[in-house]
């Protein structure tokens, strides 16, 4: 039986001068070696072979189509454009791989990949036709087809087909997660919009309040002792929200809607409507 050596590390007690500490002890032991996984080795070889085929196809297609296009434009632009022909169906196959557990969405990538391959093979054949080398053009066009076929076989080796019920289960779970992921940027967008609106409202409220006296708080000096605002800590105007101002008044023992309204308008620096104050008061009463 074949064995292999592994290093094992464990904590052991070690005492020096009567003081014991746990230290690391390194030990090399031999364990049975697992049998060779030939299936995995063949799978890896198939994948490497497919990558080699795709690389060769990309190089040949780029050279052929680039030579064809260089007859009408500069070489740099011609060869750069030639890369797009094989890169298109390679990209479609990458998308097909990512969507291998979602056949409905993968079909679009499969169809687009076939069309892109046909266009690429036709362009390579056109290169041979233009230069009176039909056989070279035909053989060169087959290179792309062989590369795509090899990569398709490699994808089949790695594929894990699902039965119909399991596929439906996966589809529903993916839809739920995708919905949650989609809500992340949507919530961020809404929060940014709400922040902009709130900033605009604060700016407008502060501008309108400047240079004007609040009619609710500009009474005679005799009315000052009866003002319930004396029970509330002073808050700088425009630094709190309506909800926070209502909560502050509630915590101070003030529950009269009109009195709370005066406190909120003074604290926020805005002409807050009575309906907003009543809504927050109702929520506080329910919570209480």
With 70 as the cut, is the pLDDT of residue 156 above it?
yes
Hey, how many other C-beta atoms are within 10 angstroms of the C-beta on 264? 25
Q: How many Å apart are CA 139 and CA 56, to the nearest integer? A: 13
| Mean pLDDT of all residues in 274-285 | 84
With 60 as the cut, is the pLDDT of residue 221 above it?
no
With 90 as the cut, is the pLDDT of residue 123 above it?
yes
User: What pLDDT score does 224 carry?
Assistant: 41
Q: How many Å apart are CA 263 and CA 249, to the nearest integer? A: 7
User: What is the sign, positive or negative, of the torsion defined by CA atoms of 270, 274, 279, 282?
Assistant: positive
User: What pLDDT score does 119 carry?
Assistant: 94
User: What pLDDT score does 207 carry?
Assistant: 45
Q: How many Å apart are CA 132 and CA 143, to the nearest integer? A: 19
205 pLDDT band, cuts 50/70/90, is low
| Mean pLDDT of all residues in 208-216 | 43
Q: How do residues 25-80 score in pLDDT, each as one tens digit?
A: 888 888 888 888 888 889 899 999 999 999 999 999 999 999 999 988 898 999 99
* Sequence spans of domains, the chain: 3-32, 38-161, 227-287
239 pLDDT band, cuts 50/70/90, is low
Q: Are 157 and 100 in contact, with CB atoms under 8 Å apart?
A: no
């Amino acid at each position: 039986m074949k064995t292999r050596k592994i290093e094992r590390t464990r904590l052991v007690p070690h005492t020096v001068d009567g003081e014991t500490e746990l230290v690391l002890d390194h030990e090399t032991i031999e364990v049975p070696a697992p049998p060779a996984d030939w299936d995995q080795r063949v799978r890896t070889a198939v994948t490497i072979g497919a990558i080699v085929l795709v690389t060769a196809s990309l190089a040949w297609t780029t050279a052929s189509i680039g030579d064809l296009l260089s007859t009408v434009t500069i070489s740099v632009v011609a060869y750069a454009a030639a890369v797009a022909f094989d890169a298109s169906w390679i990209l479609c196959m990458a998308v097909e791989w990512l969507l291998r557990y979602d056949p409905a969405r993968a079909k679009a990538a499969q169809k687009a990949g076939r069309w892109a391959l046909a266009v690429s093979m036709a362009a390579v054949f056109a290169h041979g036709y233009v230069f009176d080398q039909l056989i070279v053009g035909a053989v060169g066009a087959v290179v792309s087809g062989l590369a795509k076929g090899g990569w398709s076989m490699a994808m089949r080796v790695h594929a894990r087909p699902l039965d119909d019920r399991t596929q439906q289960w996966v589809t529903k779970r993916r839809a739920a997660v995708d919905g949650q992921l989609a809500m992340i940027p949507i919530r961020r967008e809404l929060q940014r919009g709400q922040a902009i609106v709130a900033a605009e409202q604060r700016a407008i409220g502060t501008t309108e309040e400047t240079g004007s006296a609040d009619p609710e708080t500009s009474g005679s000096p005799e009315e000052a002792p009866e003002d319930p605002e004396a029970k509330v800590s002073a808050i700088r105007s425009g630094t709190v929200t309506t909800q926070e101002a209502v909560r502050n008044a509630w915590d101070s023992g003030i529950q009269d809607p009109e009195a709370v309204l005066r406190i909120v308008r003074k604290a926020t620096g805005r002409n807050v409507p009575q309906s907003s104050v009543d809504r927050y008061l109702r929520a506080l009463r329910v919570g209480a």
